[in-house]
Amino acid sequence: MKSVEVMTRRLHFLFSFGLSLTSTFSLGQVLQDSTSSAVSETFEYVREITPVDSTILIEDNKTNRIKDSVRYPLVSALSVYFDYPKLFSFFTEVENKAEVGFQVQVMEHILLVAELGRGRIRPARFFKNANYEVSGNYARVGIGYTKTLGAKSRLNIGFNYGSSFFNDRAVIEIEGPSGLFNSLEESIERNSLRGDWFEFTLGTESHLGKNLYLGFIGRLRVLNSYDSFEPLDVVAIPGYGRTFDSSIPAVNMYIKYKIQFY
């Protein structure tokens, strides 16, 4: 009896020990699986929040394009432009004009402007009994603000001061009311005259390709002063326009060659 009882106790001990080992092994497996799953999820999360590239990118909301930041030197661009529609004025009898402009772009937004031109104006039928002509040179200097619009266009806003040095002349024919006498002609010629004005400008330009741009400038000219006379006053000022208008709107179209340093 004692031997059977001892055998029974030993079997019960072995059975309990086996169950303990099995439970311990199962718990370890569960812990290992849980740890592996947590580590995998952690790596997946880190991979999702880690940026693919460390380069800083700036997204333009309007055009939804990515662009690199640009550093502009002090003098970032030099330009020369020509008012090409004025070439057609040489085929008319009323006026002949030619104009060229220069721009220096400072940093990203500032424009320094200089424009030179020459004009000759013969107002048709301005006087009933006189032929009038004015001719001379003019110049404008100014400062402006430029801003990029999209990928290929720019907006330009500016303020200019203009000055003109010119001559005018007129041949006046005076006829007697009775017609019995020959008509009388009198010539008037005035030299070294001067006039000046201010301008507010607004324009845009588009990139044609390589270094070429096509654009226009809208101007509002405000007359400051000029040499006036009586009874026959100066009719027009080259670069400004008619003197009896204290302010004149105007539009220039141009083609530009631009060299960039950025």
Residues 201 and 243 in one domain: yes
Cβ neighbour number for residue 42 with a 10 Å cutoff: 10
How many CA atoms does the CB half-sphere of 100 hold within 13 Å? 4
CATH code, 95: 2.40.160.20
User: How far apart are alpha carbons 98 and 85 in whole angstroms?
Assistant: 9
Query: If you write DSSP's letter for every residue of 161-205 in order, what string do you get?
Result: EEEEEEEEEEEEEE--SSS-S--EEEEEEEEEEEEEEEEEEEEEE
Residue-level pLDDT at 262:
86
Residue-level pLDDT at 173:
79
Residue 5 lies in a domain: yes
Residues 126 and 19 in one domain: no
Residues 246 and 146 in one domain: yes
Model-level pTM? 0.70
Residue-level pLDDT at 9:
56
Instruction: State which residues of the chain have pLDDT below 70.
Output: 1-68, 124-127, 176-182
**Residue 115, domain extent:** 72-260
Count of domains for the chain: 2
Residue 218 lies in a domain: yes
93, with CB counted inside 10 A (0-12, 13-18, 19+), is: exposed
Beta-bridged to residue 158, according to DSSP, are 144, 201
Residue-level pLDDT at 243:
93
Residue 61 lies in a domain: no
Residues 237 and 122 in one domain: yes
Residue 132 lies in a domain: yes
Mean pLDDT of the chain: 80
Read off the pLDDT of residues 145-194 as tens digits, 9 standing for 90 and up: 999 998 899 999 999 999 999 999 998 877 766 666 667 788 889 999 99
- Taking the CA atoms of residue 173, residue 178, residue 182 and residue 186 in that order, the dihedral angle to the nearest 10 degrees is -20
254 with 216: CB under 8 angstroms? yes
